[in-house]
């Protein structure tokens, strides 16, 4: 499917950093949904660079234009075309990289795959590609919130070796997350993270981190066995975000160390539904949501493009020393928070529509 | 897509534990490939229960029959239908579970999703569903080995808190993996794992674990940006295996703690190709294979069905004590090894065919 | 998609004439639907050869076995695996054809496509492949009838140059269609058709024909603009049936000769809905059903395999005279009636589920 | 799939007549293909209204902008985003139609499907939606011509009851087709057609017609059994064009009147390949191209929007007399010629890539 994700709520993105623009087509948005550019812009603003001193200095305004599929503030049910213009291209920054593939970046693999690549390097692996995802995800979120009251909140739970304090997944809000520049809701740890990122920036180096995400009020029954389990679709969506290296849901890797008798989540009556006492399952059982919060974590590696000099080789295998020019995020996790939320929304919206299609006799 | 996986090398599975059989249709197998039931049975044998004292005592012979798509030992390029008969069904074992959903099992979520479920509980969440995957994966592996010399080897790298010693990913073989009943190639640790599993079995409890997998000789260029990155497709496939809770590739979650200058894999000339000195990337960059071994890990939770008594609730929310009857694996990771290998093969075969379709000018 | 059709109500077929069996997996059947082999067998019986002297003498009993997805007479919502054993294979009949591709048959094109082909010739172009479609279509029909009261009836409206009298599309039933061996509901014309087919059989030749089909009580609103218009999906499905050469809906090709003022179907109040006075549209407008009967016609060419001697060339281009051995239908349209109905049911079921997924605000 | 067509060469379109623009994303274009807006604009120019006195007077310049996927005149292999601005919207023209659905138009069915519709009526059923198809088709054509020398030429073979003379399908060119305003290459008949269209225009009425199309130099082996036969995919694509009512390939409906011995196309040696003496098959056998020209015909109904007064009903079922305002084509077939060519190119490009992915042993 390449640049298309989803079965019923479907998004197709386009665009690299070098062309005239980036964007997406969302096909399958429920008709009549109240929708406008104002529903989309806030998440784009949270995603764009230049918000704080933690990110690249590039100023990108990233204003979205809806081209189709909406009239008089209502979705028509037809494809919603959206575009965001590219500005501030400095191809000169990339001149060195034409002959020297950046280590751990996509320059080399794009060349091997396509036999051609953009002058700016890894083409679609550019962070700007994620604009289309965030725009589409904002629409999915609007639908999920209107219909189910679903709330999706992601936050930075670690930067490098600095781990945030426990967060109450039942209550955490985006407002709380946005209180610190690093989008970590535990204040003192956030300060530590910020200092670490600034130090890495000064050092022309970069840092990785982990984003946690909770999806609340997802009704029981979403997720398609066998291959489109909720967690499988979430993992797919998250590992499709640039720079990700891992995904875990509920107890995750740590849960492998527990016994079944401790790990099992006992059922208990919760108001009008059956709930669970604990939530090691992370809100899914057998690939299907069980009504508890869906909780997962995504690992982001340190960005590959760094100013620090690196010993490497050019395309011909000759030894080279590379110092990447240009402006690069020393740590992507603060800006990746809305991307994680958007991808989660796209997955859940698609599975919600699929379940809606299922008639029970 | 539900019960279908893949775009060009496509598998559709069917079957629960209670019906007449399980199986799969593989569509897209390259025509002319030498193929017979003998290519498929060995992995099914590694998957089936009753191989050792570590697994459930159920004897399942699980003989595969090819119904179509092969003639005179050659694949025709047409759909390969395969079936395996179900035997040894003891619906009585499940009688209690009709009114009490097993904690952390799919009984409850299947009921919520479908409004109906099999008498044996979670239907397609049954481990028998994986038979179709393994049969299909064996075909994918044959193709990948014939065409690219690809080798896929998975092994148990931890059981509960017991972690295997470092394994040489460039050399590990299935024969070495199969030398211990627990499919862990580091002998003393394997013994510890076996003792832990036997203790859990005696205790009517269960244990989780981690499976590591390496795919060697995957050519550079496989993986489709944006949404069908190699790691995204692998994560999807792995998290679709029952009981999985996490996936990581290369440095994974641990890599989030490293700086970019250390994490980046410098390029270096390797014989006729550009390789990397380290492999924190796990064989992929920008979602595309780079020619280095693809290395990933999958977290399996402790099985949910345990004989130990559990406090829980029935479908109506009334408190109940449940002791699951029947025979259940105390730890699934040894048997899940061929499943992980099969899913990896299905993903890589599909991406290989997609790249083959790509013309370079 | 090759051997898979549909997005939500999805069928994947397998099998050629030479292997152990043919069949299908239906994924997406609504859970709880009352279903058993008895719902499927009648259409298979209408499809199989040997029903009358008009068809090939081959006796095929074609008993379907449900392998999965149904328990206690109810669909589980999980994939329904079905298989039908192959019997009565006479590979000797095809010996000559190994070096001489039958004119207008698939022997040559399969060889060009796959570089290999079955000993019986065109592999999946075998009429036996349609067994899986008919089995799947019977399930789709059951769902459509239970949920919407949809009735699908096809009949033979011409054989060679003999055209049936006008049929009342609002009332025609399968029982009426089955009153003649040729499945043409206008008696005297049916007799003519039968005589023509018998004459062709004696002459070792073959005849073509046209099948008409009506789908009644399809609710307004089914069909997905842009590319999955109702008529586009029907055309796709019909032209995927072996030996078909054309499809038209409503006024079809004849309608191109009318003026707009005559061709337009004026709206009029019909009980509780808006209907149309005429139905040149054939029940669809803008690709979406309008609540009127969906009416279409499918052209079937005369079967390519004939006993009559033909001047042709072998695979090397050498001139040859070919006389096909074996038993072949002189005219496929009577047996193709349930296939047309089945394909229509599969298309409409899939579009019905897609529309069901669409939330209106 | 709704607004997406294709498996490997994939197009997703967006846009109605009322929004800011229309366009498409082409995903899967082979990387390195020489490509620019100049390759796309000519077919858009042939499609746009206002070319001649035969079409609506609306002047639409319809300049395409490539937003992504191309750099330095070469396709990058990444999604090619294209947009065309909407101009000249006169919503006032549609005021009457808000309460009265146009007979045989999509106003009613869109309302039933979506519960909402654009102020201009049938939304995506607007002719402007085809702009995205034509832009995408031009890219597909470029690829097919570069790689296989494929030529696709469509022409008007009838308008109302006026049928063009026989055309030599082996030689007909677009230049010849464009010599008359009606795009019919047989001069005297073209004059008749033009007079008939002008008379219909004066009469505020409309006319239908048939477009024929030939695809030359398609290699043998394209088309995917079972469900994605070449003719099935072509039928799907053609019946997805607005106002189409029928599709036939090769001998089509007329072929149903022939005997098999006459209809079969005998094989004969043609230079380096096996060809056929006749081509009643229309270039396909068993759903797979055989190397002969692919020939098909598409039926277009007379346009539904006419100025002539019509007796009909409003949405509430009340009798109304409707006279559509605005400017409407009295006959769409001349402008639909490039649309038919584009859809054919999209189908063949997709099947060509699928066949390319198929490894032969």
- Angstrom distance (rounded) from CA C228 to CA C222: 10
CB-closest option in C71, C79, C114 to B18 = C71
Supply the pLDDT for residue A153: 98
Shortest distance between the Cα of A139 and any Cα of chain C, in A, equals 14
The string of pLDDT tens digits covering residues B209-235 is: 999 999 999 999 999 999 999 999 999
CB-closest option in C1, C221, C223 to D7 = C1
Nearest to C119 by CA among C140, C137, C92: C92
- Angstrom distance (rounded) from CA C147 to CA D184: 48
Place of tokens 């479920």: B117
Q: Which residues pair with A300 in a beta bridge?
A: A209, A244
Asked if residues D186 and D164 have their Cβ atoms less than 8 Å apart, the reply is yes
Residue B218 lies in a domain: yes
Asked if residues D288 and D228 have their Cβ atoms less than 8 Å apart, the reply is no
Residue to mutate among D16, D104, D237, D243, with most C CBs inside 10 A, is: D104
CB-closest option in C227, C239, C263 to D302 = C263
Helices D130-148 and D37-47: crossing angle in degrees, nearest 10, is 130
Quickly count: other Cβ atoms within 10 Å of residue B14's Cβ: 30
Q: Do A358 and C34 touch (CB under 8 A)?
A: no
What is the percent of chain D where pLDDT is above 90?
83
- What residues in B contact D33, CB-CB < 8 Å? 361
B288-289 and B284-285 strand pairing: antiparallel
- What residues in A contact C33, CB-CB < 8 Å? 361
Residue C300 lies in a domain: yes
Lowest pLDDT segment from A302-311, C305-314, C321-330, D37-46? C321-330
Continuous H helices in B37-158: 37-47, 107-114, 130-148
- What residues in D contact C324, CB-CB < 8 Å? none
HEC string of chain B equals CCCEECCCCEEEEECCCCCCEEEEEEECCCCCCECCHHHHHHHHHHHCCCCCCCCCCCCCCCCCEECCCEECCEECCCCEEEEEECCCCCHHHHHHHHCCCCCCCCHHHHHHHHCCCECCECHHHCHHHHHHHHHHHHHHHHHHHHHHCCEEEEEEEEECCEECCCCCCCCCCHHHHCCCCCCCCCHHHHHHHHHHHHHHHHCCCCECEEEEEEEECCCCCCCECCCECHHHHHHHHHHCCCCEEEEEECCHHHHCCCEHHHHCCCEEEECCEEEECCCCCCCEECCEECCCCEEEEEEECCCCCCCCCEEEECCCCCEEEECCCCCCCCCCHHHHHHHHHHHHHHHHHHHHHHHHCCCCC
Estimate the share of chain D in helix, then strand, then coil, as percent rounded to the nearest 5: 30, 25, 45
Q: Angle at Cα C152 formed by Cα C146 and Cα C157, nearest 5°?
A: 170
Q: Rounded mean pLDDT of C328-357?
A: 96
Q: Rounded mean pLDDT of C9-22?
A: 92
Residue B361 lies in a domain: no
Q: Do A361 and C78 touch (CB under 8 A)?
A: no
Q: Do A122 and B286 touch (CB under 8 A)?
A: yes
Q: Rounded mean pLDDT of A186-203?
A: 95
Shortest distance between the Cα of A73 and any Cα of chain D, in A, equals 11
Per-residue burial over D254-285, b if 16 or more Cβ lie within 10 Å, else e, is ebbbbbbbebbbbbeeeeeebbbebbbbbbbb
Q: How confident is the model at residue D97 (pLDDT cuts 50, 70, 90)?
A: low
Q: Do A356 and C353 touch (CB under 8 A)?
A: no
- Angstrom distance (rounded) from CA A78 to CA A70: 8
Neighbours of chain A (3+ CB pairs under 8 A): B, C, D
- Angstrom distance (rounded) from CA A120 to CA B147: 34
Supply the pLDDT for residue B92: 54
Residue B315 has pLDDT above 60, yes or no: yes
Q: How confident is the model at residue C49 (pLDDT cuts 50, 70, 90)?
A: confident
Asked if residues B76 and C114 have their Cβ atoms less than 8 Å apart, the reply is yes
Asked if residues A104 and B265 have their Cβ atoms less than 8 Å apart, the reply is yes
DSSP assignment, residue A29? P
Q: Rounded mean pLDDT of B152-160?
A: 98
The string of pLDDT tens digits covering residues C168-187 is: 999 999 999 999 999 999 88
Q: Do C3 and B79 touch (CB under 8 A)?
A: yes
The string of pLDDT tens digits covering residues D126-174 is: 889 999 999 999 999 999 999 999 999 999 999 999 999 999 999 999 9
CA closest to D123 among chain A residues: A78
Neighbours of chain D (3+ CB pairs under 8 A): A, B, C
Task: Please provide the distance, in angstroms rounded to a whole number, between the alpha carbons at the two ends of chain D.
Answer: 33
- Angstrom distance (rounded) from CA A70 to CA D19: 8
Residue D284 has pLDDT above 90, yes or no: yes
Q: Do B2 and C27 touch (CB under 8 A)?
A: yes
Supply the pLDDT for residue A18: 80
Residue B46 lies in a domain: yes
Contacts of C298 (CB under 8 A, 6+ apart): C210, C211, C213, C238, C241, C244, C246, C247, C340
Q: Do C361 and A78 touch (CB under 8 A)?
A: no
- Angstrom distance (rounded) from CA C197 to CA A160: 80
The string of pLDDT tens digits covering residues A43-89 is: 999 998 877 777 665 556 899 999 999 999 999 999 999 999 998 65
Residue A361 lies in a domain: no
Q: Do B2 and A226 touch (CB under 8 A)?
A: yes
Residue C91 lies in a domain: yes
Q: Do B14 and C70 touch (CB under 8 A)?
A: no
- What residues in B contact D145, CB-CB < 8 Å? none
Quickly count: other Cβ atoms within 10 Å of residue A314's Cβ: 16
CATH number reported for the structural domain that contains residue D260 in this entry: 3.60.150.10
Residue A94 has pLDDT above 60, yes or no: no
**B–D interface: beta-carbon pairs under 8 A:** 56
Q: Do D103 and C276 touch (CB under 8 A)?
A: yes
Residue A20 DSSP SS3: coil
Question: What H or E segment, with its residue span, contains residue D244?
Answer: strand D244-249
Name the average pLDDT for chain B: 92
- What residues in C contact D225, CB-CB < 8 Å? 2-3, 106, 110, 123-125
Residue C75 lies in a domain: yes
Question: What H or E segment, with its residue span, contains residue D268?
Answer: strand D267-270
D151-159 and D80-85 strand pairing: unpaired
The dihedral over CA atoms of A256, A258, A261, A264, expressed in degrees to the nearest 10, equals: -50
Structural domain tally of chain B? 1
Q: Do B22 and C68 touch (CB under 8 A)?
A: yes
Helices D333-356 and D37-47: crossing angle in degrees, nearest 10, is 140
Supply the pLDDT for residue B216: 98
Supply the pLDDT for residue B125: 80
Contacts of D167 (CB under 8 A, 6+ apart): D155, D157, D185, D186, D212
Residue A96 has pLDDT above 70, yes or no: no
- Angstrom distance (rounded) from CA D249 to CA C299: 10
Give me A338's structure tokens: 């809305």
- What residues in D contact C304, CB-CB < 8 Å? 260, 264, 285
Supply the pLDDT for residue A55: 64
The dihedral over CA atoms of C344, C348, C350, C351, expressed in degrees to the nearest 10, equals: 140
- Angstrom distance (rounded) from CA D9 to CA D11: 7
Residue to mutate among C211, C226, C292, with most D CBs inside 10 A, is: C226
- Angstrom distance (rounded) from CA B42 to CA B337: 13
Q: How is B264-300 classified by DSSP, letter by letter?
A: S--EEEETTEEEESS-TTTTEETTEE-SSPEEEEEEE
Name the average pLDDT for chain A: 92
- What residues in B contact C118, CB-CB < 8 Å? 71, 76
Supply the pLDDT for residue A123: 74
The string of pLDDT tens digits covering residues D230-241 is: 999 999 999 999
Residue to mutate among B68, B94, B132, with most C CBs inside 10 A, is: B68
Quickly count: other Cβ atoms within 10 Å of residue C173's Cβ: 12
- Angstrom distance (rounded) from CA B315 to CA B322: 13
Q: Do D21 and A68 touch (CB under 8 A)?
A: yes
Asked if residues D4 and A12 have their Cβ atoms less than 8 Å apart, the reply is yes
The length of chain B in residues reads 361
- Angstrom distance (rounded) from CA C233 to CA C230: 5
Shortest distance between the Cα of D89 and any Cα of chain C, in A, equals 21
The contact set of D with B (CB < 8 A) is 7-8, 30-34, 74, 77-78, 143, 146-147, 225, 353-354, 356-361
Nearest to A297 by CA among A174, A156, A152: A156
Place of tokens 């459930």: B56
Residue A91 has pLDDT above 60, yes or no: no
Residue B90 has pLDDT above 70, yes or no: no
Residue D300 DSSP SS3: strand
Residue to mutate among C256, C304, C307, C323, with most D CBs inside 10 A, is: C256
Q: Rounded mean pLDDT of C133-159?
A: 97
- What residues in D contact C206, CB-CB < 8 Å? 259-261
Asked if residues D182 and D201 have their Cβ atoms less than 8 Å apart, the reply is no
Residue to mutate among A106, A206, A286, with most B CBs inside 10 A, is: A286
Residue to mutate among D27, D65, D78, with most A CBs inside 10 A, is: D78
User: Considering just the CA atoms, what is the radius of gyration of chain C in Å?
Assistant: 21
Higher pLDDT, A94 or B135: B135
Q: Do B7 and A1 touch (CB under 8 A)?
A: yes
Nearest to C18 by CA among B78, D229, D222, B38: B78
Residue C361 lies in a domain: no
- Angstrom distance (rounded) from CA D196 to CA D202: 10
Shortest distance between the Cα of B157 and any Cα of chain D, in A, equals 36
Residue A247 DSSP SS3: strand
Q: How confident is the model at residue B186 (pLDDT cuts 50, 70, 90)?
A: confident
Higher pLDDT, B137 or B119: B137
Supply the pLDDT for residue D1: 59
**B–C interface: beta-carbon pairs under 8 A:** 156
- What residues in B contact D147, CB-CB < 8 Å? 359
CB-closest option in C78, C356, C361 to A357 = C356
- Angstrom distance (rounded) from CA D116 to CA A72: 11
Residue B93 has pLDDT above 60, yes or no: no
The string of pLDDT tens digits covering residues C213-259 is: 999 999 999 999 999 999 999 999 999 999 999 999 999 999 999 99
Asked if residues C260 and D207 have their Cβ atoms less than 8 Å apart, the reply is yes
CA closest to C358 among chain A residues: A30
CB-closest option in D2, D66, D76 to A123 = D76
Nearest to B132 by CA among B13, B248, B224, B45: B13
Nearest to C31 by CA among C86, C77, C92: C77
Q: Which structural domain, as residue segments, surrounds residue C72?
A: 4-356
- What residues in A contact C74, CB-CB < 8 Å? 361
Place of tokens 């003999």: C162
**A–C interface: beta-carbon pairs under 8 A:** 56
Higher pLDDT, D350 or C97: D350
Neighbours of chain B (3+ CB pairs under 8 A): A, C, D
The string of pLDDT tens digits covering residues D196-253 is: 999 999 999 999 999 999 999 999 999 999 999 999 999 999 999 999 999 999 999 9
């Amino acid at each position: 499917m390449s640049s298309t994700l989803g079965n019923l709520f479907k998004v197709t993105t386009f665009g690299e950093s070098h062309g005239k623009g980036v964007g997406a087509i969302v096909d399958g948005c429920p008709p009549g949904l109240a929708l406008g550019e104002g529903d989309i812009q806030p998440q784009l603003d949270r995603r764009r660079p230049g918000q704080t001193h933690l990110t690249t200095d590039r100023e990108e305004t990233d204003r979205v234009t809806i081209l189709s599929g909406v009239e008089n503030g209502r979705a028509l049910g037809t494809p919603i075309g959206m575009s965001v213009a590219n500005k501030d291209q400095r191809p000169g920054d990339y001149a060195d990289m034409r002959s020297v593939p950046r280590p751990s970046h996509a320059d080399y693999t794009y060349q091997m795959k396509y036999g051609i690549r953009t002058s700016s390097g890894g083409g679609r692996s550019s962070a700007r590609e994620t604009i289309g995802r965030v725009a589409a995800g904002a629409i999915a979120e609007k639908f999920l919130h209107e219909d189910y009251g679903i709330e999706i909140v992601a936050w930075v739970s670690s930067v490098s070796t600095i781990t945030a304090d426990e967060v109450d997944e039942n209550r955490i809000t985006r407002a709380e997350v946005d209180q610190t520049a690093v989008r970590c809701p535990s204040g003192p740890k956030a300060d530590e993270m910020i200092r670490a990122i600034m130090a890495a920036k000064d050092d022309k180096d970069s840092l990785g981190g982990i984003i946690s995400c909770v999806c609340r009020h997802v009704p029981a029954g979403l997720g398609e066995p066998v291959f489109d389990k909720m967690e499988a679709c979430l993992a797919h969506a998250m590992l499709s975000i640039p720079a990700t290296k891992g995904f875990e849901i509920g107890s995750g890797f740590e849960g492998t160390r527990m016994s079944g008798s401790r790990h099992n989540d006992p059922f208990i009556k919760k108001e009008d539904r059956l709930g669970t006492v604990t939530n090691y399952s992370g809100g899914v059982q057998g690939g299907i949501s069980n009504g508890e919060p869906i909780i997962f974590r995504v690992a982001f590696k340190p960005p590959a493009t760094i100013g620090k000099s690196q010993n490497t080789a050019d395309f011909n295998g000759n030894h080279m020393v590379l110092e990447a020019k240009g402006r690069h995020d020393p740590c992507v996790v603060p800006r990746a928070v809305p991307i994680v939320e958007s991808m989660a929304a796209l997955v859940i919206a698609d599975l919600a529509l699929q379940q809606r299609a299922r008639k029970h006799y």
